[in-house]
Structure 1
Amino acid sequence: MPGKKKVSIVIPSYNEEDNIRPITEAVKNEIENNLSEYDYEIIIIDNNSQDNTRAIIRSLCAEDKKVRAILNEKNFGPDNSPYYGLMQASGDCAILFCADFQDPLEMIHKMVREWENGYTVVTAVKTESQENKLVRFFRTIYYRLIKRISSIDIIEHFTGFGCYDKKFLDIMRSLDDPVPFLRGVVAEFAGNRKTIEYEQQKRRAGKSHIGFFTLYDMAMRSFTSYTKVGLRMCTFFGFGTAAVSLIIALVYLIIKLIMWDEFEFGIPVILVGMFFIGAVQLIFLGFIGEYILTMNQRSMKRPLVIEHERINFDVDDNND
């Protein structure tokens, strides 16, 4: 619509057949009721859902040309797909919003109002959550650890839910990173940033598809992308272990020379030392391997996602 600024709402989905229509309708109502002065588009990027989600998305797109869809060829993970969806936004600002109703709808207009005040990025940070208390406890430990050892100021309990100015979206596009870590990108490049706190809700329907290994991969990506402590820990611990081993060896040698007949080294001591050093080496090889894996993924320059189909992107906004 001529003369109106535009808000893009990006909704990633994967097996959300019970949520995708209600969340789309709820987002439309939120914008029409509280941001009526704005034009808008809703971009649903589906990560190769195996249920009825895609059929519902096609139906939504047929009913309303403001609803647009990108259907991925396969599941490209919970990082690449949302990042790619943001890069397709054509609005003056874009909001990344989850499909399961864990993000409060009223945060949409609150973030836009803060963006109107000139902030490049408005980040939504969870101060409370209705998720499992033990899970939140471990998340808190992770965030505080990675923040302490990171070279940038990592944002605690920030999932990517936020409002991004089109200038920041241009920065995201220019990075050309095949393994992007959105939370790290925001922490590193968004200097003019505003934080809004919120309480995360429970999923309305379905269950989360992010398992342990996915969380581990995301944690390692942040660790290898924004910290040097892993490699330096290997180096310093190696020097320290070598020094301690040398001292112990000298002590044993002196004792043996003084008490040649009485003192025996003993097989258990040697075995314990061997197993300890071997375990340390394996752990540090794992650390180094994670860094090398991240470097290898970035050097291959593979696309973030491969599209199977896109719907309604060729529609003229002025005719919506």
Structure 2
Amino acid sequence: MSFFLSIVMPAYNEEDCIEQVVGSWTDFLKSKFPDKKTTLIVINDGSKDKTGEILDRIKVNHTHLTVVHQKNGGHGNAVVNGYKMALKLDSEYVFQTDSDDQFVTDDFDKLWQKRNQSEFILGYREIRHDAKVRLFITRFLRSTISLVYGTFILDSNIPFRLIKGSFLQKLMDQLPDPAPFAPNIFLAVMAKKSGQELFDIPITHRERISGTVSIVKWNLWKVCIRSFRELLRFRLELNRKIKAIKKA
């Protein structure tokens, strides 16, 4: 049986908040879509704390929870694997968010209301509570995308997006393999270039009070250089991929 909506949520070292976050989103699914088949897919990306243990414990009482454990592959890898799982479940809609308790379930409706106007809808963090290094990377990527692709996306890597399942499959078929460092950026670029209205809807972004910020482990310039190279290389293939998406 196909799923109506699957929420994809990567998780890494979030033992302090994972139970609360999972509870919020599974409760949301039950109240928002009581008569629909839905699930929250949490990809535990090789957490070194008790995140995995907590997920295994609470999944017994959460019928709307799907837990997948994997070796640590990074946030982008976890997102891609979550998308693949959602597509395997034949999900009509796929929503992606993070496990760090920085987003609120109420904002889902802002995107949901636009679902008949676009197959790929983004939020954007109007007021963003993140470390300066992450804010710099976001600005760098925004400028790079504008320069390399001639398109402007406010928050291309935001983990708060609603995608029609059939369209996500088209995008995933064109995603570079192995997956890039930040696959959500590539999906956003392909979606916009193929004619989708992303909307860039302002959403709430709360201050992180627990967990591990993985990007801090990376050297700032290494992240920027790697992302720039991946985006530049992908630019050479973009026109062909957009044609493939439209044809599909």
Scaled by the length of structure 1, the TM-score of the pair is 0.62
What is the identity percentage for the equivalent residue pairs of Structure 1 and Structure 2? 22
Distance between the aligned counterparts of 1:135 and 1:165, measured in 2?
32
Provide the residue aligned with 1:192 in structure 2: 196
Which structure's CA Rg is the greater one? 1
Q: Separation in 2 of the partners of 1:223 and 1:35?
A: 40
Q: Contact 1:6 / 1:40 at 8 angstroms: preserved in 2?
A: yes
Q: Distance in 2 between matches of 1:218 and 1:167?
A: 31
RMSD of Structure 2 on Structure 1 (CA): 2.5
1:171-193 deviation per Cα after TM superposition (whole angstroms, max 9, x unaligned): 23313621232212221234223
**Matches of 1:216 and 1:46 in 2, distance apart?**
27
2:180 equivalent to 1:183: no
Alignment of 1:1-320 (within 5 A): 6-72=4-70, 74-89=71-86, 90=89, 91-115=91-115, 117-132=116-131, 134-135=132-133, 138-139=136-137, 141-158=139-156, 159-175=158-174, 177-180=177-180, 181-190=183-192, 191-193=195-197, 194-213=199-218, 216-227=221-232
Residues 88 and 147 of structure 1: CA distance in aligned 2, closer, same or farther (over 3 Å): same
Shift of 1:65: 3.5
- Name the CA distance, whole Å, in 2 between partners of 1:68 and 1:149: 39
2:67 maps to amino acid: A
Q: Which amino acid aligns with 1:185?
A: L
Residue by residue, what CA displacement relative to the aligned partner does 1:109-130 show, whole Å, maximum 9, x if unpaired? 3222221x24111111112112
How many Å apart are 1:154 and its aligned residue? 4.9
Matching residue's letter, 1:143: L
Q: Is the 8 A contact 1:154 1:187 kept in 2?
A: no
Decide whether the 8 Å contact of 2:43 with 2:68 is kept in 1: yes
Question: Aligned-pair distance for 1:40?
Answer: 1.0
Q: Is the 1:140–1:156 contact (alpha carbons within 8 Å) kept by the matching residues of 2?
A: no
Stretches of structure 1 lacking an aligned partner (at least 5 in a row): 229-320
Structure 2 letter corresponding to 1:172: L
Asked whether the equivalents of residues 171 and 190 of structure 2 are also in contact (C-alpha less than 8 Å), the reply is no
On the 8 A contact 1:184/1:222 being kept in 2, the answer is no
CA contact (8 A) 1:152 1:188 kept: no
